[in-house]
Structure 1
């Protein structure tokens, strides 16, 4: 779904004699840089400049007549967000009804709607429509803003300001009277954080001592001491004596707010490969300085050199483990902490861990083999070594021996 701009805002109501109608409608000009006062106000006289390219209306009378039952609605749909996708338009509204004997037919029915292109993602605008409906409801209850024709005549300019400011700045602040101002801001929807699994290793992105843990919930406070970039989720749950599902929920919440990130379990048997972003170490001075500071083992000695860091990263290949790297180049003699070197590379996207996924390929004589071994259920190419070890309690070496001793198990690296 594409994200775009509002094409139109209109105010509709149920008129005691005319029935369902669009009372005011403002349409976006083709040139977004045109001033607010140049937004075309239809069905009402208003100031407007440079309007030659503005269409006569965006929501036609014919379209409105087709859809009005979803705009000025029956009681069952009132005070609810309604999105209509029809004939190339997407209309978002929140129909409102105020019951009072002072109104004709004992009720005031209205709806302020946003109109977008049919392919647009309208989720960021839905809270704004709901909030605007509540603003107008409050203004009517406090001062009769909508039922008073004189005050209602201010709506076209208010809608024009809304349309222009939201499209230009993504927010607006429009004074209505001495005591009421409309404040709106478009907040893009955030994606749900990825699932947290037993073998994942949570790691704080900043110093955890900088956080005021007293503001956190009790479960988060309980697991906080065990989040060190080394312990995986299952070990954290065991050490903290907290149900693993609660630990996952807490960590997922921290992921959502950008407090932690997830890295693979660090083992010297791990294999990594470089990524295209490795070039950023040369191009980005801030990243370069951050890397040197993070991987330097002894701060009292001379810091690690960029040349040594790039040489170590560049030596990572699919046939070289971290153990091989350390035996060949001895990072500690270069004042480099190999664990920090790997962690920094993973977090910043400079390197990528290659995981091992075992898969059993049955030959003709094993087609009817029953899965009697506890590990057999994981030999399908869907589980990596880290995941299997956490789920079964096997050590990495035990799992590796099991795989090597079975000629029908192959390992996929990815």
Structure 2
């Protein structure tokens, strides 16, 4: 969904004689009277919708508001009804603005309860300048700090919504994005401290849980937390039978000097010797194809003779999106005489094209070679590469 800037901010209220109205808006006349008359029941609302975020998508606009009602006999009709709304393009993702609308509603509620800010016509006349500052600062800086009086200042900041990290599975291999020794382990919870020594870019989640003697579900939760904060990334299990292909971003090695230097430093095997050359690195990456395994690559080009660590070469390529692992997904295709086959073998349940070799090995304890032999010996099992 598209993102963009706020188009308008308006303050609406229920006037004792004029009824529903937009009292102030910036820019002026942005929301037409016709549009407001069509939607006012969702802006100045009935009690059941008050103090709730409401988003209206209509006629090319998206309006976010939080209607407020203050019940008190001092007000005409015994209540003060108002709503400060943000207006955006209908295609815009408004999720980052929703907390701000809620917070502004609470600000105005507090100001009214403390000093009668909205019910006093003189103080309410400050709203247009406040709305203008809100619109300008939020669109320019993504945050604002607007003094209201000696004791109140509006502080707001747009925080983009963060996506939940992907699920951590048994066959995933966690790897630190920076030097593990640079972290203060005392800042982590006890379970995270317990598994930290086993996160080395080689051990998969199942092995980490076993070696650390920690329940695997707790390990997954800890690793997902680390993923969320960008401390680790996930890479496939490294095996010499793995197959990789290059991605379009491989061109960045030539175009991006910082990435190039980082790559050379990371893949160089012996720092005391001459560093690996960009020419050798690109040649090795470019030689990766769907019919060539890492073992084939090493036998053909001997990366170590080029002072290149093949494991680091693959890891760097995966992390930076330069190459992609091709996984094997076995699927059993039964002929007419086997439609009612009874699944006697423990591995049969995974022969449906939904599980790759790494997953199956971790779930069953089979070695990669044992699984490969099982697949090879069954003429009804085909392997999908993806």
Per the normalisation by structure 1, the TM-score is 0.88
Q: What's the CA shift for 1:119?
A: 2.2
Q: What's the CA shift for 1:78?
A: 2.0
1:55/1:203 Cα in 2 relative to 1: closer, same or farther (>3 Å)?
closer
Equivalent residues of 2:146, 2:154 under 8 A apart: yes
What CA distance in whole angstroms lies between the structure 2 residues aligned with 1:185 and 1:296? Answer: 44
1:165-187 Cα distance to aligned partner (Å, 9 max, x none) = 22233222222223322222222
- Report whether the alignment pairs 1:198 with 2:170: yes
Q: What's the CA shift for 1:57?
A: 2.3
What CA distance in whole angstroms lies between the structure 2 residues aligned with 1:388 and 1:352? Answer: 20
Query: What runs of 5+ residues in structure 1 fail to find an aligned partner?
Result: 25-52
Residue aligned with 2:175, SS: strand
What CA distance in whole angstroms lies between the structure 2 residues aligned with 1:122 and 1:217? Answer: 35
What CA distance in whole angstroms lies between the structure 2 residues aligned with 1:115 and 1:54? Answer: 10
Of stretches 366-375 and 150-159 in structure 1, the one that deviates more from structure 2 is 366-375
Of stretches 170-179 and 385-394 in structure 1, the one that deviates more from structure 2 is 170-179
1:125-168 Cα distance to aligned partner (Å, 9 max, x none) = 10110111121122222222111111110101111221222223
What CA distance in whole angstroms lies between the structure 2 residues aligned with 1:78 and 1:217? Answer: 41
What CA distance in whole angstroms lies between the structure 2 residues aligned with 1:315 and 1:5? Answer: 46
Residue aligned with 1:176, SS: strand
1:285/1:403 Cα in 2 relative to 1: closer, same or farther (>3 Å)?
same
Residue aligned with 1:76, SS: helix
Q: What's the CA shift for 1:240?
A: 1.7
1:56/1:154 Cα in 2 relative to 1: closer, same or farther (>3 Å)?
closer
1:228/1:117 Cα in 2 relative to 1: closer, same or farther (>3 Å)?
same
Of stretches 386-395 and 73-82 in structure 1, the one that deviates more from structure 2 is 73-82
1:63/1:398 Cα in 2 relative to 1: closer, same or farther (>3 Å)?
same
1:55/1:349 Cα in 2 relative to 1: closer, same or farther (>3 Å)?
closer
What CA distance in whole angstroms lies between the structure 1 residues aligned with 2:179 and 2:301? Answer: 30
Of stretches 381-390 and 191-200 in structure 1, the one that deviates more from structure 2 is 191-200
What CA distance in whole angstroms lies between the structure 2 residues aligned with 1:89 and 1:168? Answer: 21
Q: What's the CA shift for 1:206?
A: 0.5
What CA distance in whole angstroms lies between the structure 1 residues aligned with 2:302 and 2:70? Answer: 77
Residue aligned with 2:271, SS: coil
- Report whether the alignment pairs 1:111 with 2:92: no
Q: What's the CA shift for 1:391?
A: 1.0
Equivalent residues of 2:8, 2:27 under 8 A apart: no
What CA distance in whole angstroms lies between the structure 1 residues aligned with 2:28 and 2:147? Answer: 28
1:67/1:54 Cα in 2 relative to 1: closer, same or farther (>3 Å)?
closer
Query: What runs of 5+ residues in structure 2 fail to find an aligned partner?
Result: none
Number of corresponding residues:
386
Q: What's the CA shift for 1:367?
A: 2.0
Q: What's the CA shift for 1:56?
A: 6.6
1:379-406 Cα distance to aligned partner (Å, 9 max, x none) = 1111110011011111000000000001
1:280/1:87 Cα in 2 relative to 1: closer, same or farther (>3 Å)?
closer
What CA distance in whole angstroms lies between the structure 1 residues aligned with 2:207 and 2:293? Answer: 24
Q: What's the CA shift for 1:85?
A: 2.0
Q: Which residue of 2 aligns with 1:237?
A: 209
What CA distance in whole angstroms lies between the structure 2 residues aligned with 1:383 and 1:354? Answer: 13
Residue aligned with 1:375, SS: helix
Of stretches 281-290 and 174-183 in structure 1, the one that deviates more from structure 2 is 174-183
Of stretches 277-286 and 388-397 in structure 1, the one that deviates more from structure 2 is 277-286
1:234/1:15 Cα in 2 relative to 1: closer, same or farther (>3 Å)?
same
What CA distance in whole angstroms lies between the structure 2 residues aligned with 1:279 and 1:105? Answer: 69
1:162-220 Cα distance to aligned partner (Å, 9 max, x none) = 12222233222222223322222222222221111111111110112212222222222
What CA distance in whole angstroms lies between the structure 1 residues aligned with 2:187 and 2:153? Answer: 33
1:197/1:366 Cα in 2 relative to 1: closer, same or farther (>3 Å)?
same
Q: What's the CA shift for 1:107?
A: 2.6
Q: What's the CA shift for 1:54?
A: 10
